[in-house]
Structure 1
Amino acid sequence: MEDDNTSARIPIVDFSSCNTFDFSNIHETNTEIKNIAQEIIDAFTEIGFVYIKNHGIPQSQISKLFGVAKDFFTLSHEEKSKFSRDAKVSNHGYVGLGVETIDPSKPGDLKEAFNISELWNDEISWPDGSCSNFRPTVNEFTSACTELALKILDLVAIGLDLKDKTLMRQTHKFIGTKHNQSTLRILYYPVLKTLSKGEVRLGAHSDYGSITLLFQDEVGGLEVLDKNGKFKPVQPIEGTIVVNIADLLQRWSNDKLVSTKHRVVVPNEENLLYVSRQSAAFFVHPDNDVIIECLDGSRNYPPISSFDYLKYRLNETYLK
Structure 2
Amino acid sequence: MSIINIPRLDLNDYTQGTAQQRHQFSQAIGKAFNETGFVIIANHGMDKTLIDLLYETVKAFFALPESTKLKYEIPGLAGQRGYTSKGKEKAKDAKVPDLKEFWQRGQDENPVVDELPSFDEVTGEVYRRLETAGRELLKAIAAYLCLEETYFEEKVIQGNSILRAIHYFPIDDPDSLPEDAVRAGAHEDINLITLLIGASADGLEVLTRDGTWYPVKAHGEDIVVNVGDMLQRLTNNKLKSTTHRVVNPPREMMKISRFSVPFFLHPKADMSLAALDFCIDAGHPKAYADVTAGEYLDERLREIGLKM
TM-score (norm 1): 0.86
Q: Is the 8 A contact 2:102 2:167 kept in 1?
A: yes
Q: Within 5 A, what are the aligned runs for 1:234-245? A: 234-245=216-227
Post-superposition offset of 1:235: 2.2
What RMSD in Å do the two structures reach over aligned CA positions?
A: 2.1
Post-superposition offset of 1:56: 2.2
Structure 1 position 60 matched with structure 2 position 49 = yes
In structure 1, C-alpha distance between the alignment counterparts of 2:203 and 2:3, rounded to whole Å: 11
Counterpart of 2:65, as a letter, is S
Q: For 1:247, which of 223, 229, 237 is the aligned residue? A: 229
Post-superposition offset of 1:217: 2.4
In structure 2, C-alpha distance between the alignment counterparts of 1:102 and 1:210, rounded to whole Å: 18
Q: For 1:209, which of 182, 186, 191 is the aligned residue? A: 191
Q: What's the counterpart of residue 124 of structure 2?
A: 139
Mean Cα displacement is larger for which, 143-152 or 184-193? Answer: 184-193
Equivalent residue of 1:191, what SS?
coil
Equivalent residue of 1:167, what SS?
coil
Structure 1 position 184 matched with structure 2 position 170 = no
Q: What's the counterpart of residue 219 of structure 1?
A: 201
Structure 1 position 280 matched with structure 2 position 261 = yes
In structure 2, C-alpha distance between the alignment counterparts of 1:169 and 1:42, rounded to whole Å: 22
Post-superposition offset of 1:9: 4.7
Post-superposition offset of 1:83: 0.3
Post-superposition offset of 1:191: 2.1
Q: What's the counterpart of residue 154 of structure 2?
A: 170
Q: For 2:172, which of 184, 193, 218 is the aligned residue? A: 193
Equivalent residue of 2:156, what SS?
coil
* 1:103-155 superposed Cα distances (whole Å, 9 cap, x missing partner): 433422111100112x422xx5321x211211111111111011000000000
Q: Is the 8 A contact 2:5 2:32 kept in 1?
A: no
Q: Is the 8 A contact 2:40 2:218 kept in 1?
A: no
Q: What's the counterpart of residue 241 of structure 2?
A: 259
Counterpart of 2:182, as a letter, is V
Post-superposition offset of 1:161: 1.4
Q: What's the counterpart of residue 112 of structure 2?
A: 126
Counterpart of 2:210, as a letter, is N
How many residues are paired up?
A: 298
Q: Is the 8 A contact 1:126 1:135 kept in 2?
A: yes
Equivalent residue of 2:277, what SS?
coil
Q: Is the 8 A contact 2:198 2:221 kept in 1?
A: no
Q: What's the counterpart of residue 144 of structure 2?
A: 159
In structure 1, C-alpha distance between the alignment counterparts of 2:3 and 2:98, rounded to whole Å: 23
Counterpart of 2:188, as a letter, is S
In structure 1, C-alpha distance between the alignment counterparts of 2:139 and 2:264, rounded to whole Å: 16
Q: What's the counterpart of residue 34 of structure 1?
A: 23
Q: Is the 8 A contact 2:273 2:292 kept in 1?
A: yes
Mean Cα displacement is larger for which, 287-296 or 250-259? Answer: 287-296
CA change 1:251–1:186 in 2 (3 A) is same
CA change 1:159–1:94 in 2 (3 A) is same
In structure 2, C-alpha distance between the alignment counterparts of 1:91 and 1:218, rounded to whole Å: 23
In structure 2, C-alpha distance between the alignment counterparts of 1:308 and 1:256, rounded to whole Å: 22
Equivalent residue of 1:291, what SS?
coil
Equivalent residue of 1:217, what SS?
coil
TM-score (norm 2): 0.90
CA change 1:16–1:72 in 2 (3 A) is same
- Runs of 4+ with deviation above 4 angstroms: 6-9, 87-90
In structure 1, C-alpha distance between the alignment counterparts of 2:24 and 2:125, rounded to whole Å: 30
Q: Is the 8 A contact 1:19 1:55 kept in 2?
A: no
Which structure 1 segments of 5+ residues have no match?
Answer: 22-28, 175-179
In structure 2, C-alpha distance between the alignment counterparts of 1:294 and 1:150, rounded to whole Å: 20
Q: For 1:16, which of 12, 16, 23 is the aligned residue? A: 12
Post-superposition offset of 1:19: 4.2
CA change 1:56–1:211 in 2 (3 A) is same
Mean Cα displacement is larger for which, 288-297 or 131-140? Answer: 288-297
